[in-house]
Each structure stands twice: as structure tokens, then as C-alpha cells.
Structure 1
Amino acid sequence: MVNCLSKALDQVNMNINQLDCIIINLVWPGNILYEEVIAIVQQLNIVCPVIPVNLGTSGGMTALELGWSQFSNAKYRQVAVLASCNYAHRFSAEDPVSSLLSDGAACAILGYDSGISLVHSKTIQTYDYDPLIFIDNHFESIKGSGRSIFSKLPKTIFNSCYQLCRDVGKDISDIRYFHIYDPTSWVAEVAAKVLHVSEDKILTLFDKYGGLGPAQNFFALIELNTSSDLFPEDLIILFGFGPSSTSTSFLLSWR
């Protein structure tokens, strides 16, 4: 996470002392997040407020929403939002689940300069999903939870994206690309079907990175930033999701 934040600041020709606030999300519960935050603050000599977010796989988009809300303070000009996961910390190499997962971190620097514009966000609850119960380095009830996700996720995708568009007077057909949080290979096809869009409008990262937890949507922005198929004013939706938690969608305008 230190390298990620440092490189992001280098890319925009900033130093750590120019940040007004930092939002940090890490996927795993317990004390890991707070230990990491303390280590980062000490290593980089950070003096601005640092806000930790611990909300599972939906935490990256929640962190982005919190970062955006910091600009309600007129004194804030630059905010860093960092999303990361450390799946390797929890799964042994012999565990079959580990083959579907990756470690990684990504950082977005929010400010008033030219760049991608955050237009609107929408958060809905996912309390009706079966929770993933994590006990002694394995998921205790992943099979039942998997069925719950498979049956309910399509409706959550539709409701989140539709309500987001409706709030700003847009239609699903106005969106150039969607990134729907895709921890498995079937999500892109399901998303295209429920949104009634062609599958080439759904940016999928699973085949390239595996599951990146809350950092997945941020990696999607990196992929989109290298695309030659986006033009000014194109609209993009990022959809983040956590079972028994929340789902947050962001509407972005390309610059």
C-alpha cells in the first residue's frame, strides 16, 4: 500500500504533505487494517487525517464515496483513496480458493484538477444475502452463501445501476462501459443479461487478475485509462458489492 500511494502521488506530481485526507480500505477483518494504517502513517510521516474503512469487498467503493464526501469541507483540495486486499495472508497455497484470488492495491487521487469526473453515487443494502462466515482460515458457509449470491446478485446489479442512472436523469443505454465487481467468471454474462446491454460493454477483470476484493473497481479504472475506446463525456458505471453489507455504484464522466 505504501508503494501504491507513493506511485500515485508521483504520477500527479504531488507529495504526501499536499493531501488533506487519506481513506484506506483493506478487505480483511480484525486488527490487520489498523495495524497497516499505523505502519503507513509512521513510514510516510503522514500528518493529515487518515480514515480506515473495514467493509469487506464493498469497502473500496464505500471508501471512494467517503473520499468524495470530504470535499464538503471547502478547505479540502486533495484526497487519496486507497483500496487493497491481502488474500494471501489468509489462504495457504494448497487451498483451492487461493487460485481464484490475488493480492493488490490501487489508489485514486481526488481533487479539482482535470480528470475523470465523479457524477453521482448510489448505495443500497444487501442485508438479505447469506453472510460469508470466516472461521480458522476457511469459509465455513461458502457453499450456501455462493447460492445466495448467484440467485440475488442479478437483481442487486439491476437495482443499483438503474437507481443510479434514474437519480441523474440517465438511462442504462447512455452508459459506455460498466465494471461490475466480478470475483467469478460468470458475473459479466449475468450483468449484461440483466442490464440488457451487450457483453462487450461489461469490463471484466477476473480472467486477468482473479479476485482483488475491494481493489477490483480501482483496477478497472486503471484498465479503462489505457483504453483508446473512450471519449470525453462518455459515462461509466463502477459497481461494488459485498454480501450482507452494501452495494455502491458510481457514475463517472470521462475526461
Structure 2
Amino acid sequence: MTTRIMGTGSCLPQTVVTNDDLAKIMDTSDEWIRTRTGIRERRLAKEETTSFMCCEAALRALEDAGMSGEEIELIIVGTLTGDYVTPSTACEVQAKIGAKRAVAFDVNAACSGFLFALHIAHAYLQAGIYQNALILGAETLSKIMDWSDRSTCVLFGDGAGAAVLKRDERGVLSFDMGCDGAKGHVLSCKGRPNNNPLVSHPTEPEFVHMDGQEVYKFAVGRVPKSIQSVLAQSGMDAGDISWFVLHQANIRILQSVAKRLGVSEEKFPISLDHCGNISAASVPILLDEMNQKGMLKRGDKIVLSGFGGGLSWGSVLLEW
């Protein structure tokens, strides 16, 4: 027995913000953003919150799986932009979808968050502790961006993606997970500083800081190795894989990974052009888009891979 994805769902904010829209408020252009990143537009939240988008994505995944919230036993949300420090986003989802039986918690592995949630849920299911799970990746990254920093803020968007998992005879075949905390500060966002009777700090908000070149070098070096690891564990090579569903960070990263694996870029679907980088939500949103378009066929071998803040990475090989 292993863990199988039974249904997918996603939710994006209603408001579309194009590169031309950003050019009206900062020194940039559609050509500058598009040629460097592959991004043409992204969705930014107005009334939507992280938990709202999670709940919408969760309900759609449950419908796709033919299940109700009451049946779910475990909920894990990968996010770094929850609405509250506590309660967790997962507990918010549990309440709103009526998953009264479910244990619920968040994990923060940044852009690898959905893969970490999948790995954790898989372990629970394989141990026989739970029979099913709902996992999500969700971010409202727009609230932690410095919108005067054109080198960073133009990359990111908001949204949520979800998947329903069950114990089954087909599904997950192999995992590769890892972290390099020594290089973590090349992509960071500070939390609240100490503020107590002994020390006081101003409470100005902190924003995401990124060394783009270092993140790029990490991704193009580590991701192919991670994918090769899950292939080797299952005795397969890249030619056996129908789709490589990767975190949507930058089109140049996707092209480099495809080249290093010796695989056609046609096997690397993208949502980057119309979603931007949504950190933990990128992989499940793209997977749901593919599912809704009928691109995923029973028996397809698929690689999912997330990578980013931490620095962290995670890849899984599964049979659809």
C-alpha cells in the first residue's frame, strides 16, 4: 500500500495584475519582467485571505475526490503567510469545511511546503494512523512584499492549492527531501523581534529579501539531483516520466532543469506565466490545472518538485 492523490482543487484571487499594471507604479516594464522570469501576470488578494483561499481549494478537492469534510482525518497546510500566528491555517480550514474528526496543523517549508506536507501525510498513512488526508499549499505573499523593490515583488502572487490523499495500491513511489540551513538567509523574511519589559524595538513590518543569483544557483544545482534521486530509487529514468510538475519560480530555472535532465521542456507544464511564484501553492495549483484540463491519465508517472526558502527541497515520484 502507498498514498494516492484522489482529488485536487485550487483557488486564485479574483484580481489580475499584469506587468503593465506594475509598470504604472514602479520602474519596470512588461518586457523587463517577462524576458527575465516568464511572468506576464499574477493574482493579488484584496478581500481574499490565506484561509479563505485554502477553504475554497479544499472544497473543490473534496468534490473532485467524491468525499466530504467529515471524512477527513488529517489536514496539513504548507504556508508561511497564515492569517494568524495562532490558530493555524489548518485549524481554520478544519472548522470551515466541517472536518470535525481531523487533526490539523501547518508546516513552514516555504516553496517546498506542499511537498513537505505530502511527505508527512504519506508517513502517517503508511503507519496506519490515518486512512486519508487533505494537504494544501497556500500563500498571500503580497502582504510580505516590499512593493518598491522591483527585483523581488514582481515575481510573486497569491493563491492556494489542495489535494486529497488516501491509502491505495498505487500512488507515491519514492521521495527525496532535504534542507541547507547554512544558506537559508539568501531568501528570508524576519519575524517580530523581541519586545518585552527588557527590550523594545519598533514594530515596522519586515519584507521578503532575496539574493536572486544565489537562489538560482541553488535551484539549478539541487533540483536535478533531487529528481534523479527519486528516479533512481524506483529504477526509472527521465524518459519514463510523463510530466515534471515543478515549483513555478522562474522560467529560466525550469529550462535549466529540463536541460540538465535531458528532457523536452514540453514535459514541464507552467502556470508561472499567469500565476507568478506562489511559493508553497505553486505545485498544487499547477497540478490542479493539469487535472482539470484532463492532462493526467491513469498510470502516468509524474514527478513533483518544490524548492526554495530554508533553503529546502522536496521531490516525489508517483503514479497517477
Q: TM-score, normalised by structure 1?
A: 0.86
The code of the aligned residue for 2:207 comes to H
Pick one of 201, 207, 219 that aligns with 1:138: 207
In the alignment, structure 1 residue 74 sits paired with structure 2 residue 74 = no
Are 1:169 and 2:210 matched, yes or no? Answer: no
1:129 corresponds to: 183
Q: In 1, distance between residues paired with 2:296 and 2:105?
A: 33
1:191 — aligned with what? 257
Structure 1 CA distance for aligned equivalents of residues 216 and 129 of structure 2: 44
Distance 1:231 1:41 in 2: 30
Q: Is the 8 A contact 1:126 1:243 kept in 2?
A: no
2-structure distance, mates of 1:61, 1:190: 21
Q: Which runs of 5+ in 1 are unaligned?
A: none
8 Å CA contact retained: 2:112, 2:313:
yes
Q: Match of 1:18?
A: 71
The residue type equivalent to 1:236 in the other structure is: I
1:251 aligned counterpart, secondary structure: strand
Residue in 1 aligned with 2:105?
51
- Separation in structure 2 between the aligned mates of residue 102 and residue 241 of structure 1, nearest angstrom: 16
| Higher radius of gyration, 1 or 2 | 2
In 2, distance between residues paired with 1:64 and 1:76?
14
3-state DSSP class of the match of 1:110? strand
- Could you report, residue by residue, the CA deviation over 1:41-79 in whole angstroms, capped at 9, with x for unpaired residues? 444453321122112111111001111111124352221
Cα gap change, 1:151/1:195 in structure 2, threshold over 3 Å: closer, same or farther? same
Distance 2:218 2:79 in 1: 25
Partner of 2:12: none
| Alignment-derived partner of residue 238 in structure 1 | 304
Q: Which residue of 1 aligns with 2:115?
A: 61
RMSD: 2.5
Instruction: State how far apart, in whole Å, the 2-side matches of 1:42 and 1:226 are.
Output: 27
Supply the distance in 2 between the matched residues of 1:113 and 1:38 (Cα, whole angstroms): 26
Shift in alpha-carbon separation, 1:86–1:33, aligned structure 2, 3 A = farther
Match of 1:110 in 2: 165
Tell me which amino acid in the other structure corresponds to 1:197.
Answer: V
Which residue type is aligned with residue 69 of structure 2? I
- 1:157 counterpart letter in structure 2: V
Give the equivalent residue in structure 1 for 2:42. none
Following the alignment from structure 1 to structure 2, what is the Cα–Cα distance between the partners of residues 224 and 60? 17
**CA–CA separation in structure 2 for the residues paired with 1:252 and 1:163:** 13
**Aligned 8 A contact 2:61 2:163 in 1:** yes
Give per-residue Cα distances to partners, 1:93-124, cap 9 Å, x unaligned: 6653443221111110001469x722221113
Stretch deviating more after TM superposition (203-212 or 158-167): 203-212
1:139–1:16 Cα change, 3 Å: closer
Give 1:99's match in structure 2, choosing from 137, 141, 154.
154
SS of the residue corresponding to residue 89 of structure 2 reads: helix
CA distance in 2 between counterparts of 1:13 and 1:180 reads: 27
* Matching residue within 143, 150, 153 for 2:216: 150
Q: For residues 22-41 of structure 1, give each alpha carbon's deviation from its aligned partner in whole angstroms, at most 9, with x where no partner exists.
A: 11121238954644344334
Indicate how the Cα distance of structure 1 residues 42 and 152 shifts in structure 2: closer, same or farther if over 3 A, else same.
closer
Normalization by structure 2: what TM-score?
Answer: 0.70
CA distance in 1, matches of 2:289, 2:93: 26
Question: Identity rate of aligned residues, in percent?
Answer: 21
Q: Distance in 1 between matches of 2:213 and 2:129?
A: 47
Over 3 Å counting, the alpha-carbon distance change for 1:79 and 1:183 in structure 2 is same
Within the candidate set 258, 262, 282, 1:216 is matched to: 282
Q: Comparing 244-253 with 161-170, which one deviates more in the overlay?
A: 244-253
Structure 1 CA distance for aligned equivalents of residues 91 and 75 of structure 2: 13
Work out the number of aligned pairs and report it.
250
Q: Which amino acid aligns with 1:139?
A: V
